[in-house]
Amino acid sequence: MKKKPNLLTLMGYAGRFKFFTAGSIAFAVLSACLALVPFVYIWKIVNEVLTVMPDFSSAENLEDYGFTAVKFAVNAMCVYFCSLACSHVGAFRTVANIREKCVAKVLRMPLGHIESEGSGKIRKIITDSSASIENFMAHIVPDRSVAMATPVAMIALLLYFDWKIGLLCIATVLLGFLIMYIFMVGPTLKRDMEAYNAALENMTKEAVEYVRGIPVVKTFGQSVFSFKKLKQAIDEYEHFTISYTKRFRLPMTAYAVVINSAFASLIAVALYHSSSVANPEFFTNLMFYIIFTPIISVTLNKLMYSSEADMVVGTALERIDSVLNVQEQNETEKPQIPNEYSVEFQNVTFRYDGAVKNAVDDISLKIPSGAHVALVGPSGGGKTTSASLVSRFWDATEGKILIGGVDVKDISQEKLSEIVSFVFQDSKLLKTSILENVRMAKPDATDDEVLEALERAQCGDIIEKLPDGANTIIGSKGTYLSSGEQQRIAIARVMLRNTPILVLDEATAFADPENEEKVLRAFDEISKGKTVIKIAHRLSTVVDADEIFVLKEGKIIEKGKHQELVKMNGTYSKMWNEYQQSVKWTIDN
């Protein structure tokens, strides 16, 4: 299927505001035509001067020609201003519509997709791509319309005064356009632009990863080794840009020579017809072409850069489509509400897009309402994925997940968010007050309710040390919290939400010993009367669980209470022994 031109695609997003873009194009074309008219009157001025010389006093129309030329030039500017006004209105509304569609799409995306892609990447796609589209519609579209309309009118003028000289000028136009098309419009440049964007994106990603990993780098003193991937990305970007630039030296030189050769060819024509220089008509026509030919290079340069901008906006539209084409989760037409909060997996299988094996493979288990269970096992065993399926971060590929006997797909997303809460290992806080960070879980909560949740989440010591207490803006004036402190704030948020099912995903992974103790006390408080699914590597945190499920390669290989599993001498027993050995480690001075 042939891809639609980028402008037509954008007109689809513009809706009723597409008429502003169409008006912009029409005004731009009219402006291009009006802008060439002054050259005709300049020709008339030169022609009359040469006709009456040396008796210049007999030239009667010079003033009228001059004012008329100025009038058309001013009109061309005014019409072009109207074109820009229309293009900006159309651009702003089109970009607003695109952003609204993208944001609405994000709200309907599976939470797992947002988590795996990264909210920062999705935000960057939406903001950066829409900014490219805005620039294209507001500036490039009218400029390109002028650049495309000008050659048509220009060819007419080139042939009108002296068709032989006109054909010579047109030949340089065609040759310059051919060189431009081969090197600046053809498929080669598109591939190069895609490679350039990929290299730039990879370098940016590695730079971000390096900055985020600086604490770990300093801890283990691996600065040289940690810089290797970033250095490699920078070297690849440097190699591409230098080779890309060198490859364009010859064609760009040829283009510049050809496009500026029209003036040189006119000098050759003048010398060849030197015997006819005394002819005022020939000399007048020659003067017109000498004045007029610089427009050729200006026009082709505009076309060249507009074609590059077209590729940029094409890439932006592809990125926007990557957001809009994400498969949404279906909402049930007849939502149901569970009466109790047991969780049951019935032959559940799940595979990530593009994966070669199942992340969760035919799991069946039942968690009674109010029970506290743990998912443990080697990394990559499917623990987090299994827990994520409960709140529909993803939908199971096969099988069913039931809450209170109701399929999670038959529960509305809004209601499901009121039933299941997550506490992640790297909880995020926004740059606003602690009070508002917690209130996000329940926007209508009073200050007293929020403060009570903070107290129950063992956050009293955090509030006391901050300059403005719970009203302190996180990240302002050097106010930052440790990972363990952020985790307790996140727990307060979940505590305020007060959902009957709670998922704790490696929630003490980044906490120091002091914070871990307080986080665990907060967990005890938040877990009362709840159905709790705990994912943990620190096995000491799950010994009191009602039941422990051991997952490996997406399957449940063992289940039971802590003491029962230890006696099995299986995977859990081995993990427990290794854990016991690790806690005995000491660092010698």
Tell me the three-class secondary structure of 253-312, residue by residue. Answer: HHHHHHHCHHHHHHHHHHHHCHHHCCCHHHHHHHHHHHHHCHHHHHHHHHHHHHHHHHHH
pLDDT digits (tens, 9 = 90+) for 49-103: 777 777 767 777 888 888 998 999 999 999 999 999 999 999 999 999 999 999 8
pLDDT above 90: residue 486: no
pLDDT above 70: residue 426: no
Q: For 589, how many CA atoms within 13 A lie in the half-sphere containing its CB?
A: 0
Angstrom distance (rounded) from CA 429 to CA 438: 9
pLDDT above 60: residue 10: yes
> In sequence order, which residues have a C-beta less than 8 Å from that of residue 461 and are 6 or more positions away?
518
pLDDT above 80: residue 201: no
Q: How confident is the model at residue 222 (pLDDT cuts 50, 70, 90)?
A: low
pLDDT above 60: residue 509: no
Residue range 6-324, CATH number:
1.20.1560.10
Could you tell me the two tokens for 541?
């945190």
Give one DSSP letter per residue of 391-458, joined into a string. TTSS--SEEEEEETTEEGGGS-HHHHHHHEEEE-TT----SSBHHHHHHTT-TT--HHHHHHHHHHTT
Average pLDDT (122-146) is: 86
Angstrom distance (rounded) from CA 344 to CA 542: 20
Q: How confident is the model at residue 213 (pLDDT cuts 50, 70, 90)?
A: low
Q: How confident is the model at residue 556 (pLDDT cuts 50, 70, 90)?
A: very high
Angstrom distance (rounded) from CA 387 to CA 509: 17
Q: For 31, how many CA atoms within 13 A lie in the half-sphere containing its CB?
A: 23
Quote the pLDDT of residue 148.
Answer: 80
pLDDT above 70: residue 183: no
Q: How confident is the model at residue 24 (pLDDT cuts 50, 70, 90)?
A: very high
In CATH terms, are 6-324 and 343-582 the same topology? no
**Could you say which architecture CATH assigns to the domain 343-582?**
3-Layer(aba) Sandwich (3.40)
- Could you tell me what percent of the chain has a pLDDT over 70? 79
Average pLDDT (386-393) is: 88
Of 101, 65, 80, give the one whose Cα is nearest residue 30. 80
Q: 558 has which bridge partners? A: 550
Rounded to 10 degrees, what is the CA torsion of 525, 526, 529, 532? -120
Region of residue 458 (left: phi > 0; alpha: psi -120 to 50; beta: else): left
Angstrom distance (rounded) from CA 147 to CA 303: 6
pLDDT above 70: residue 224: no
Please give the angle made by the CA atoms of 104, 108 and 112, to the nearest 5 degrees.
Answer: 130
Quote the pLDDT of residue 400.
Answer: 92
Q: Contact at 8 Å (CB) between 422 and 505?
A: yes
pLDDT above 80: residue 176: no
> In sequence order, which residues have a C-beta less than 8 Å from that of residue 267 and are 6 or more positions away?
none
Average pLDDT (105-126) is: 78
Q: Contact at 8 Å (CB) between 439 and 387?
A: no
Angstrom distance (rounded) from CA 233 to CA 122: 22
Q: Please give the mean pLDDT across all residues of the chain.
A: 80
Angstrom distance (rounded) from CA 48 to CA 61: 8
pLDDT above 80: residue 366: yes
pLDDT digits (tens, 9 = 90+) for 276-288: 555 666 666 777 7
Q: How deeply is 467 buried, as exposed, middle or buried, from its count of CB atoms within 10 A (0-12, 13-18, 19+)?
A: exposed
Could you tell me the two tokens for 319?
């990125």
Give, in order, the Cα–Cα distances in Å from 282 to each of 48, 61, 273, 517, 586. 13, 21, 9, 97, 99
The least confident of 225-239, 296-310, 320-334, 472-486 is 296-310
Q: How confident is the model at residue 23 (pLDDT cuts 50, 70, 90)?
A: very high
Q: How confident is the model at residue 417 (pLDDT cuts 50, 70, 90)?
A: confident
Angstrom distance (rounded) from CA 293 to CA 261: 10
pLDDT above 90: residue 349: yes
Quote the pLDDT of residue 5.
Answer: 80
Q: Contact at 8 Å (CB) between 189 and 311?
A: yes
pLDDT above 70: residue 321: yes
Q: How confident is the model at residue 233 (pLDDT cuts 50, 70, 90)?
A: confident
Q: Contact at 8 Å (CB) between 368 and 396?
A: no
Q: Per the confidence metrics, is the pTM higher than 0.75?
A: no
Of 560, 486, 491, 556, give the one whose Cα is nearest residue 530. 491
Quote the pLDDT of residue 275.
Answer: 55
> In sequence order, which residues have a C-beta less than 8 Å from that of residue 270 and are 6 or more positions away?
277, 286
More reliable by pLDDT, 448 or 252: 448
Q: How deeply is 489 buried, as exposed, middle or buried, from its count of CB atoms within 10 A (0-12, 13-18, 19+)?
A: buried
* Structural domain boundaries in the chain: 6-324, 343-582
